[in-house]
Structure 1
């Protein structure tokens, strides 16, 4: 067998072993990175270590540490209170509010991990307070971040539109944005139904009917009114600073978060006690281990090998589907930004033939690579798992894993059928 085949089979074996045995997937992936890198690809340890996502590690640790402190200081409760008041106590609308807020942030150029890192703790705090399923709330944030990113000013939109224009292909930024938004909204709607959104809506309708029969008294939903003190104000200010730095100045969000929490801990040392214990170290190991292995495969040309193998397929429609499937699988384990930059050019030969609708295939690739960001091995999925309360974290991880695996198949097939096959008929 070729090195490429061996490395792909090892990746599949890692998931199987971690599923059926009590083996931490992140640790196994790091060990496999060393074995496959040195024995199969004959590369140095330095090359392997270079694939470790230090930035992602810093983001996971720094942001979860900062928000762990903010939770102890009462700042998250204050944000939750304000958010519930903003929607008039309509709990069933809160996931959609979080979706829209995150989409607006990324639609003007913010990176999706930065937006998810800021909105995620607030959204999961709301979920915890009002008994909204954490997967529903996490998916709203994740998919909102992806939806906004395909706007003409969003990062994903700029990447795809620039590649298409560079190769002289037809370009329609608004069509790309609209097509991806439609699929993403449908994904969130399916999650809303699957994880109790309709139950929340029915409960609110029954409550409104009961209020109509009893007009007297204060019927506003009970909400915690936190005590405003110095540590709460300082924590809110730190979160605001983190957002401004991430979105306006483009500083590394992990380092900024660590600096802020260190300063807060020095000033409010009593509040800082135990905050570091709430950093999600197992999640950081899990995600960084898998991403290290996938980065090794990318550095050794395995993704390019897959793309070239697809190029040998004679039927354009079948080749288009295979490329969409590859985009979904790899993006679920690695950077969506990197996958879009790598796979859209691989689709150019098919687009140039005119046998498939170029804009449709580009949009299908965008959908395939983005909706799978709910995978717990993707940055945004990992953040949502990390922000879920500890006693529900394992279950949330399993749910995100299953939804990510399902979307790896459903998203490419559905987007390919609607955006590629139908226009070709």
Structure 2
């Protein structure tokens, strides 16, 4: 058995073990990187060289900063502002949650869906909106913003392309995912009861999502909670929240307009907030998305070992042997979608991009179009109840409706897995 095949089998094994045993894929990938690296004749230092230090700093800084935004109420503040803008029009509320999740994800909040879903689903229950529709709007909102140049997914993909000198377009990748997920969200809205919300008006700003009834909570309890919190919520923006908003703005403008390092900017903003509230800093640092940091670092380190061992070139040659690049691209899109519905989206994208890299280098496929198709295929399936984001939505459904919600969610996820990669594959036809 040749070394290339062994490395592929090891990769498949760690994916299966990580999914079946709920172990972080990055941990297994790091261990595998050193084992496979030794077999390929690589030294420990050579394996370490594949670890993405820049992404490690960026992911740590982003999740640390957004920990403050979540803890000090800045995110809830943004939600309230959005709900006030719709002036009680219920039909616009799902789009506010869609936009909020997308905005948070687009500036680096990898856990945006985890933050918004607990607000959105109870809100839907309280205002008699289809909970599945609201949950899917949140997930697709997050995916709509997932590939901005400031986001974790965008940083991951663009760094990979830059490292392999594959070119690409940061704006093109973002717009492709944004348009694709917005179109799906519109279909979801229209087919899951959104059109029946048109014309309905209620006092949405008076009872925002964070005050909506929790599962098992009575209307009286929710009202009491609302009254108890009113005084604290009407005081406007305090200094701590103002500095948080300023930090987010500086990070976004500094990165997008001046090309400054997003990891340095986000860590700097988080450091200022930490000095203001050391107690919050300890909690936020403990709540940094270390699992994501380890996942990204481990997967990219293993991919670097695969490249050094010749596995990437070997696998790409096998796919290229199909003879028709667009057919190979479609196959990769479906593989990415199916695997990602059950496993890590970032890990799946990284492996698939590594396999596709030689085809992109040869010009057989348009870099922007194919990378967009692959990225969309691997993330749009996060509506699956077996994915982290899908499970977060399901967890916030009240017990009375959870079984029915789960069945409907499975049907919807099946449709997405079956149709979305084919639809996303059309981006492979773009001559860019």
Alpha-carbon distance in 2 for matches of 1:276, 1:165: 35
Superposition pairs of residues 6-405 of structure 1, within 5 angstroms? 6-21=6-21, 23-39=23-39, 41-89=40-88, 90-98=92-100, 115-117=106-108, 125-131=115-121, 136-146=137-147, 183-188=180-185, 192=188, 198=192, 201=194, 204=197, 208=201, 220-223=205-208, 225=233, 227=235, 228-314=237-323, 318-319=327-328, 321-322=330-331, 333-335=348-350, 342-345=357-360, 348=363, 363=369, 366-373=372-379
May I ask how many residue pairs the two structures share in their alignment?
356
- SS in structure 2 of the partner of residue 34 of structure 1: helix
Superposition deviation, residue 136 in structure 1: 4.2
Superposition deviation, residue 411 in structure 1: 4.6
Change (3 A) 1:326 1:306: farther
Alpha-carbon distance in 1 for matches of 2:72, 2:198: 35
Superposition deviation, residue 147 in structure 1: 8.5
Alpha-carbon distance in 2 for matches of 1:233, 1:317: 49
Change (3 A) 1:66 1:348: closer
Question: Which residue number corresponds to residue 153 of structure 2?
Answer: none
1:307-360 per-residue CA deviation (whole Å, 9 max, x = no partner) reads 2223333466644544656787797534599669935535645x7xxxxxxx7x
Superposition deviation, residue 93 in structure 1: 1.3
- SS in structure 2 of the partner of residue 272 of structure 1: helix
Alpha-carbon distance in 2 for matches of 1:58, 1:178: 26
Alpha-carbon distance in 2 for matches of 1:87, 1:124: 23
- SS in structure 2 of the partner of residue 279 of structure 1: coil
Question: Which residue number corresponds to residue 214 of structure 2?
Answer: none
Change (3 A) 1:339 1:369: farther
Alpha-carbon distance in 2 for matches of 1:238, 1:63: 11
Superposition deviation, residue 92 in structure 1: 1.4
Q: Which runs of 5+ in 1 are unaligned?
A: 103-112, 150-154, 167-172, 212-217, 352-358, 393-399, 421-425
1:33-92 per-residue CA deviation (whole Å, 9 max, x = no partner) reads 1101111x2111122112222222222221111121222322222222222223445321
Q: When the two structures are superposed, what TM-score results if normalisation uses the length of structure 1?
A: 0.64
Superposition deviation, residue 14 in structure 1: 0.7
Q: CA RMSD in A?
A: 4.9
Change (3 A) 1:179 1:207: closer
Contact 1:29 1:290 in 2 (8 A): yes
Contact 2:95 2:137 in 1 (8 A): no
Contact 1:77 1:125 in 2 (8 A): no
Alpha-carbon distance in 2 for matches of 1:407, 1:116: 26
Superposition deviation, residue 415 in structure 1: 4.8
Alpha-carbon distance in 1 for matches of 2:351, 2:254: 23
Change (3 A) 1:415 1:77: closer
Alpha-carbon distance in 2 for matches of 1:418, 1:272: 43
1:132-182 per-residue CA deviation (whole Å, 9 max, x = no partner) reads 766642432323454899xxxxx98xx89xx9999xxxxxx99x9998776
Change (3 A) 1:100 1:23: closer
Contact 1:371 1:411 in 2 (8 A): yes
Superposition deviation, residue 24 in structure 1: 3.3
- SS in structure 1 of the partner of residue 244 of structure 2: helix
Alpha-carbon distance in 2 for matches of 1:20, 1:122: 25
Alpha-carbon distance in 1 for matches of 2:279, 2:35: 45
Superposition deviation, residue 278 in structure 1: 1.7
Q: Which runs of 5+ in 2 are unaligned?
A: 125-133, 151-156, 209-229, 340-344, 397-408
Contact 1:123 1:141 in 2 (8 A): yes
Greater Cα offset, 337-346 or 289-298: 337-346
